[in-house]
Structure 1
Amino acid sequence: MARYGYFLASEEFTPAQLLEQARAAEQAGFECLAISDHFHPWNDQQGQSAFVWSMIGALSQVTSLPVTTFVTCPTIRVHPAVNAQAAATAGALVPGGFRFGIGTGEALNEHILGGAWPAADTRMEMLEEAVQVLRALFTGERTTHRGKHYTVENARLYTVPDEPVPVYVSGFGPKAAALAGRIGDGFVTMGPDEDLVQQFRRAGGGHKPVLGGLKVCWGTDRQEASKTAHRLWPNQQLPGELAQILPEPAHFEQASTLVTEDMVADSVVCGNDVDQHTEAVAAYVRAGFDEVYVGQIGPDQQGFFDFYRKDVLSRLHDLDLAR
């Protein structure tokens, strides 16, 4: 049976709001949490960007749910050895368990130290080597690594969880899905793409977990909810590789002028139609996902949690039983 989680958008909400959402998600019946790892928001309307490792430490004190990063880039902005220490500490702290979701990242967050933004194939090569560093350090043993992209000299993590932190690899195309199948303990992708899931499984993913998610905008007025989604998250409708290569929130705002409110309304579930919300989540389960995370856009968080607790999660569980 699938598990249903809540997605904490660190680009849109303050640290205190994220903690309150985590508590409310557990009370509403969500079974797991995911949290984004950004240096910048996608646009200034979102307006936040808390440091993910501080947030995970705080989350460990207010909820018993497992937590997954959706996702961290462990290759450029922060060295993989430092990411390994952060993830291992999170693994030792989070009561429900911590899963390290990683990916090749976006220029939006990774360009800040002044380095060039590598091509996609190079970023995947860097990610694969970073995973080697992570896994070596997660053993708690003394590690030296001299690779093409990274050097680690006589490093040892003294604080590690009882079991190594699972590494879930993100991908949005066939090459990335194949890489995730080969090196990951699980796969993270956003759309309910059954072909991509099968690519991951054929490449070595087998029966490992597949995680995905979507944003919705619950509200009693569908038109107002659509306006809120368009104001805050038009970037989700940008095509191709723009999300990976645009370097600043201002550039996303410029590109997002091409995204109309109708485009958002056609692609994001807005309003309070139970069937629409249920179907949007169930599409992931039919595509082979094991965990589906839902994030609420905008300020009406409690209304969303009440709605999902009373109407949506029970329907989803009934559908699981029917399968």
Structure 2
Amino acid sequence: MRFGYTLMTEQSGPRELVRYAQAAEDVGFDFEVSSDHYSPWLTEQGHAPYAWAVLGAVAQATSSVELMTYVTCPTVRYHPAVVAQKAATLQILAEGRFTLGLGSGESLNEHVVGEGWPGVDTRQWMLEEAIQIIRQLHTGELVTYAGEYFQVDSARIWDLPDEGVPIGVAVSGDASIARFAPHADHMITTEPKAELVTGWDAATSTNSRKIAQVPISWDPDRDRAVERAHEQFRWFAGGWGVNADLPTPRGFSAATAFVRPEDVAASIACGPDLDELAASAQPFLDAGFTDLAFVQIGDEAQDAFLAEAAEGLLERARALS
């Protein structure tokens, strides 16, 4: 398994994210993923810089670590033709190190443009159509497209990377695997379910990556680690069925009002014990995932985590695999 570091735009400013990206490469993470948010999940997190500008800076500030969006929604806030252009440009800047991670999005980030928030079935159809457009534009040909949800009028991407742009797509079960596996290079998901891996492998003919993410809260003081995880990551308790549809941080705050610190600590490894933190990877290893990105919770903890804990965490996680 390859292990990654999460550039979490909801909890850090743009200059800090670039600095963390450099430090994460120096420590030895295999890849870095960036969220793409217009709003933090909770006001306590306090940030939401533009992920694509941050990734452009990260591409220049790093030299070897792979980069990825985790994930971008190419259907409401962004038109897929614009995502195709951004991804091609970023791949050139990153000299082939970039993977475009796509998903059907959350209301929290997409409702801001005033186009409403479609139901889940419509979102899935929109995402499928968007991927088709991105793929066509990445051929470098002139594209005119008339779909049910999107129109493209005589568009061409003029600056294309020689190696193309691999696409990963977020899935959650058999139906989404059947729909998106034919259009994607890699699988992205949130839960360590072996049936997702085997279902994806059965639906594809390529040796694709199976990519996931897991939060941890490292701190020399376990009580502070739990406090921080509860303060900034209790939204995680709602699950994606809830998280996709709440429109504002205030909504997430209300929805998690009765989530206790001990509830968060029961699902997120907290404290100084690197063996315990590394063990968060075990369910994903057992399920057959190939890539796992750690999320260190809390901007104020990043510098110390990267300087004091990350190398040891990677050593223990790699020993598990």
CA distance in 1, matches of 2:206, 2:118: 30
TM-superposed CA distance for 1:112, in Å, is 1.2
Q: Does 1:285 align with 2:271?
A: no
Secondary structure of 2:263's partner?
A: helix
- Tell me, in whole angstroms, the C-alpha distance in 2 between the residues paired with 1:301 and 1:292: 18
Mapping 1:213-232, distance limit 5 Å: 213-232=213-232
TM-score (norm 1): 0.95
Relative distance call for 1:240 and 1:81 in structure 2 (3 A) is closer
Match of 1:58 in 2: 57
Task: Please say if 1:85 is aligned against 2:88.
Answer: no
Secondary structure class of the residue paired with 1:165: coil
> How far did residue 105 of structure 1 move?
0.4
Inter-partner Cα distance in structure 1 for 2:174 and 2:36: 23
1:185 aligns with 2:209: no
* Farther-moved stretch of structure 1 (62-71 vs 167-176): 167-176
The 5-angstrom pairing of residues 274-313 of structure 1 reads 274-298=274-298, 299-313=300-314
How many Å apart are 1:66 and its aligned residue? 1.4
- Which deviations, in whole Å up to 9, do the C-alpha atoms of 1:105-157 show, x marking residues without a partner? 01111111222211111111111110110001011111111111111111111
Matched ranges for 1:63-142 at <5 A? 63-64=62-63, 65-95=65-95, 97-142=97-142
Give CA-to-partner distance per residue, 1:253-294, whole Å, 9 cap, x none.
110102111110000110011221121123312211111101
Give the Cα–Cα distance (whole angstroms) in 1 for the partners of residues 259 and 310 of structure 2. 32
Secondary structure of 1:5's aligned partner: strand
The 10-residue stretch of structure 1 (189-198 or 54-63) with the greater mean CA deviation from structure 2: 189-198
Equivalenced residues, count: 319
Maintained 8 Å contact 1:177/1:197? no
Q: Deviations over 1:195-236 (max 9, x none)?
A: 222222223265311111111110111111000010011100
* Aligned residue type for 2:89: T
Return the alpha-carbon distance in structure 2 between the equivalents of residues 277 and 118 of structure 1: 37
Amino acid at match of 2:241: E
Deviation at 1:297, TM superposition (A): 0.8
CA drift at 1:240: 5.3
Preserved CA contact (<8 Å) 2:128 2:180: no
Cα distance in 1, alignment partners of residues 211 and 143 from structure 2: 30
- Counterpart residue identity of residue 315, structure 2: S
CA distance in 1, matches of 2:180, 2:201: 9
In the TM superposition, residue 97 of structure 1 has moved relative to its aligned partner by 1.2
SS of 1:74's equivalent in the other structure is coil
Please, which runs of 5 or more residues in structure 2 have no aligned partner? none
> Is the contact made by 2:275 and 2:316 (CA closer than 8 Å) also made in structure 1?
no
1:241 to partner: Cα distance: 1.3
After superposition, the Cα gap between the structure-2 partners of 1:310 and 1:116, relative to the gap in structure 1 and judged at 3 Å, is: closer
Shift of 1:193: 1.6
RMSD over aligned Cα, in angstroms?
A: 1.5
Q: Does the Cα contact within 8 Å between 2:96 and 2:161 map onto a contact in 1?
A: no
Structure-2 separation of matches of 1:112 and 1:205: 38
What CA distance in whole angstroms lies between the structure 1 residues aligned with 2:128 and 2:176? 11
Q: How far apart are the structure 1 equivalents of 2:95 and 2:59?
A: 6
Tell me if structure 1 keeps the 8 A contact 2:42–2:252.
Answer: yes
Write the distance in 1 (CA, Å) between the matches of 2:168 and 2:246: 25
Normalising by the residue count of structure 2, what TM-score does the alignment of the two structures yield? Answer: 0.95
Q: How much has 1:310 moved relative to structure 2?
A: 4.0
Identical residues among aligned pairs (%): 37
